[in-house]
Amino acid sequence: MSIHKFKANLSNGKEISLEQYKGNVLLIVNTASKCGLTPQYEELENLNGKYKDNGFSVLGFPCNQFGGQEPGTDDEISGFCALNYNVTFPLFKKIEVNGENAHPLYQYLVKQAPEDANLDKNSRLYQHLRSNSPELLEGSAVKWNFTKFLIDRDGNVVKRYAPTTNPEDIAKDIEILLSK
């Protein structure tokens, strides 16, 4: 199985099959507009622009499960991203990434990559989670906004990155997959 077997709704409501990304390298990210990590949108857009002609795309999945930091409607989220970060990569309808109502794509992603690479135990995010949401530190749950999953051209999950991983730090891994 691969991510190409899943469908998702774009922010405009149109359902698409992720099979349309077959042959592309993807970075799938759960996003939020009112998070301390929201400026990562700019870096994500930079990666998207830098590599899109080589068969790469970022896919953004807004989620309001972490501190209520994505309260807007799908239209408001798209408008915010376009206005503030010139986002051109696809944004999908707001989804849940954890729990019984988690989108099937995210259920699959966390099974394939259950651990965040480089989750710094000295970071403010880790300390916040330890104090306020310790259950998120256990198991394969998505820990916070801006958790990233790198997908190869065949739709396989290659690696999961912690929310605090700067998108630009993933560039080398993207280049390796694009060269294959």
Residues annotated as catalytic are 35
Query: Which residues lie closer than 8 Å to 19 by C-beta, 6 or more apart?
Result: 4, 5
Query: Which residues lie closer than 8 Å to 24 by C-beta, 6 or more apart?
Result: 55, 56, 57, 153
CA–CA dist 122, 169 (Å, integer): 19
Question: Are the C-beta atoms of residues 148 and 28 closer than 8 Å to each other?
Answer: yes
**C-alpha 125: how far from its chain's center?**
17
180: number of Cβ within 10 Å: 8
CA–CA dist 58, 112 (Å, integer): 19
